[in-house]
Every structure is written in C-alpha cells, then in structure tokens.
C-alpha cells in the first residue's frame, strides 16, 4: 500500500511569517512528486512537479525541495500573505500516466 | 481548450437516481483521470483513460459506476442508482506527461 503523509495538518501564521510543510512518500518506484495549491470550490492549482533527487524549485515566494532517497519533500513559503491561505496538497506518482496518490493536505491560514 | 472543463458544477439527485458527470480534457492531452473527494482533502482515484481506452480502473466501484472517453466527445462518469455515500466532489484531470491539470469539480449531492 502506497502511503503519502503530510504534516502538519493545519497551520495558522501571521502575515509576514515564513512557513514550511512536509510531505513523505515511498522512496521506491518514484516517478514524480506534485505540489498543488487548492482552495475549496476551485481547481487544484499545480505549483511544482519534481522528479530528480536534490531538485529545488521556486515560484515567487514559494519553493520546494525533493529527497527521493529518503522519501520526503518540503514546501516553503517566505513572508506569508493572507492570499496564501489555502490547502497545500502533495501527490506521488509512480509511473507515467498513473494515478496520483494524495496526502491529506496542509491547511494554511494566514492572518493579516 | 486550455483548461479542463467539468459540467455540471452542481448536481442534486434523489437516492436511487442516475447521475452523469462530464469532463472535457485539455486539447492534446491523452490521459484523463477521475478522482472523488469525499472527506475533507481526501482525493480518491477512481479511473483513468489513455485516449479512449481504460488505463487503470482499480479505484472504481464496479457495480454502479461506469466511465467512458469516446473520440470527439467529453468524457463521462455515470453513477447508476446513486447512494447517499456517493455525495462528493468529483474532479477530472488531464495530462500529457507528468503534470495533471485539474478541473473545478462537480459537486454531487444525493438526498
């Protein structure tokens, strides 16, 4: 059974705080790891697709790292803003065209 | 199109009625996926297609759920004789390689 775990489940921060979340996944049969930002009633928005061990990707104030050997990825948000409030989902992919196996998500709330 | 489109946005059915959901993938994407979100943040895989062929159906409840992706038509997910526990948001996604692009979902409420 392939298990993807995310922590923490929820996070409440003040505007301007930097924050990070963890996603752990199986270290065998790795193909790719996705990070999505999701607000209820909207489409999950792809942030990153990560494939190589040691990968580091950045999009504005958000960045992610990947360690496929130990099976974890970190998502960082620098200087959180209220508009960053959302659920951040990671999803594991073990073959091309295969199904995504999602973690339970981290719900981020940023207070002004 | 450039986005995955799903219709309808909301669907309400009485228990035992049929429900049919539609998905138009991004043009040029050969893979289509259906996911069911029942519990908060829990996305459960149902079925995937490579073009019009079923690629993986390991998540499909076999008795009442069926799905198709026919050429030149939106893909569809059909639930015969809906049950209360089928109430969920059903997301469709399409992909050409690694990245899956999601539609906005169809919220199905079974009363």
Contact of A74 with B17, CB cutoff 8 Å:
no
**Token pair for A92:** 């594991």
How many angstroms separate the CA atoms of B24 and B22, rounded? 7
Read off the pLDDT of residues A15-74 as tens digits, 9 standing for 90 and up: 999 999 999 999 888 999 999 999 988 999 999 999 999 999 999 999 999 999 999 999
Q: Are B102 and A43 an interchain contact pair (Cβ–Cβ within 8 Å)?
A: yes
Read off the pLDDT of residues A62-80 as tens digits, 9 standing for 90 and up: 999 999 999 999 999 999 9
Which range (A75-79, A97-101, A104-108) has the least confidence? A97-101
- Please state the rounded mean pLDDT for residues B72-87: 95
- Cis previous bond, A95, omega within 30: no
Nearest residue, CB atoms, A104 vs list B35, B41, B48: B41
Helix (H, G, I), strand (E, B) or coil at B85: helix
Which of B102, B104, B105, B109 best probes binding to A when mutated, by most A CB atoms within 10 angstroms? Answer: B102
- Please state the rounded mean pLDDT for residues B56-78: 93
Give me the residues of A, 41-80, that contact B with CB < 8 A. Answer: 41-44, 46, 49, 51
Nearest residue, CB atoms, A43 vs list B48, B95, B103: B103
Which of B32, B43, B58 best probes binding to A when mutated, by most A CB atoms within 10 angstroms? Answer: B43
Q: Is the pLDDT confidence value at B2 over 90?
A: no
Give the closest-approach CA distance of A16 to chain B in angstroms: 26
A1 Cβ contact partners less than 8 Å away, ≥ 6 residues apart: none
Report chain A residues whose CB lies below 8 A from the CB of B35: 100
A87 touches chain B (CB under 8 A): yes
Nearest residue, CB atoms, A96 vs list B58, B59, B97: B97
């Amino acid at each position: 059974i392939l298990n993807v775990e995310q922590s923490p489940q929820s996070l409440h921060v003040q505007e301007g705080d930097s924050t990070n979340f963890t996603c752990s996944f199986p270290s065998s049969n790795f193909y790719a790891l996705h990070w999505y930002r999701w607000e209820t009633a909207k489409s999950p928005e792809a942030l990153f697709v990560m494939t190589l061990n040691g990968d580091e990707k950045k999009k504005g104030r958000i960045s992610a790292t990947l360690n496929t050997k130990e099976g974890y990825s970190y998502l960082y948000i620098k200087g959180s803003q209220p508009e960053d409030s959302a659920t951040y989902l990671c999803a594991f992919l073990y073959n091309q065209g295969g199904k995504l196996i999602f973690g339970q998500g981290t719900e981020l709330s940023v207070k002004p | 199109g450039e986005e995955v489109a799903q219709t309808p946005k909301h669907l309400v059915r009485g228990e035992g009625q049929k429900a049919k959901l539609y998905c138009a993938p991004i043009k040029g994407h050969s893979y289509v996926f259906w996911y069911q979100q029942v519990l908060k943040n829990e996305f459960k895989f149902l079925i995937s297609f490579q073009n019009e062929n079923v690629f993986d159906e390991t998540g499909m409840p076999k008795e009442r759920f069926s799905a198709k992706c026919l050429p030149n038509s939106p893909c569809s997910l059909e639930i015969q004789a809906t049950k209360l526990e089928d109430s969920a948001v059903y997301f469709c996604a399409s992909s050409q390689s690694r990245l899956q692009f999601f539609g906005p979902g169809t919220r199905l409420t079974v009363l």
